[in-house]
Amino acid sequence: MNYTITQESFDGLASRCETPGRPLNWNSVFVLPVWLKVWWQEFKPESDLYLAVVRQDEEIIGVAPLQLKDGTASFIGSTDVCDYLDFVVTPGLEKDFFSVLLDDLKSKSINYLELGSLRPESTVLTGLADMARGRGHEVLCQPEDVSVEMDLPATWEEYLEILVSKQRHEVKRKLRRLMEAGKIEFRVLSDKTAVEKAMDTFLKMFTESRSDKATFLTGQKESFFRALAATLTETGLLKLGVLELDDLPTATILYFDYDGGTYLYNSGYDPEYDFLSAGLLSKVLCIRESILAGKKKFDFLKGDETYKYHLGGKEVPLSSCRITIG
């Protein structure tokens, strides 16, 4: 087999991911070229772009979305705004891909790979780590965080039955109280103009709902969120859910619609409606909307907030991995 490795641009790579999972495994929205490009343009890292493509003869078998700095390679993206990170590889060809990649990185005097936000099934943990050990490289993988997700049943009634008795009672009680407060509507915005217009409301609620979110939302991150909303709405990946009471927004959810699942990226609510549990119920109604749309998975993404478990989520460990190849 003849293997080559070349550097691609974000735009050049974008045409390769039109069909998720075939043949390359674009296993999350956070590794898509459109996402990587927005992150790179907004955060402007002081590192060298290494968007490497490995080909077997003429066919692409994998993509390494990396940045290089001071002899260290890390994923494009950052763990505070990118929940999962990984390489993009054709299933079954991981060994070939990583062999070519490690040789190329070593030829460029890269001594370390610092790879974070890894799901258990990531190619780093299931393929690269063992290969690196086999080559005599030092590999240190350790727990980093958790994510929470759940498989969705076919109907809303089945979902309610999944919840433990106490939480099922609480969801029904809070929904009933919300319905009694006035006219309720959960609107899903997917049009670029509508989403961009609603971003002011989303960001206001995001910062007002929790003090740690207000601290998190620097000017740079706000610019990133706005650019992300504008760009990913155009591709159909991003949606904005708005919970309204008597036509007034009370809570908002920024989420991704990708590969048969709903990914809850960020949310906020108006503290004036805390007594109606507007923040929690916006998630409940987003789950119901996802079930009605035939989604198979609801991913609350990174973080161990209690409400995620109360709404049926199961914990998924996330890891980081440091590989010494120098």
Q: What is the pLDDT of residues 27-77, one digit of tens each?
A: 899 999 999 999 999 999 999 999 999 999 888 999 999 999 999 999 999
pLDDT at 19 over 50: no
**pTM, whole model, 2 decimals?**
0.94
Omega before 23 within 30 of 0, i.e. cis: yes
Is pLDDT at 22 greater than 50 in this prediction?
Answer: no
Distance CA 25, CA 89 (A): 6
CA angle 167, 172, 175 (to 5 degrees): 120
Set out the domains of the chain in order of their start, with CATH numbers. 3-143+317-324 (3.40.630.30), 153-295 (3.40.630.30)
Q: What is the pLDDT of residue 27?
A: 87
Q: DSSP strand E in the chain: where?
A: 3-7, 48-56, 59-69, 72-75, 88-89, 112-118, 138-151, 184-189, 238-245, 248-258, 261-269, 297-302, 314-324
Residue 15 clears pLDDT 80, i.e. is over it: no
Contacts of 29 (CB under 8 A, 6+ apart): 35, 232, 237, 256, 258, 263
Q: What is the DSSP letter of 87?
A: -
Per-residue pLDDT at 21 exceeds 60: no
The Cα–Cα gap between 193 and 28 comes to 25
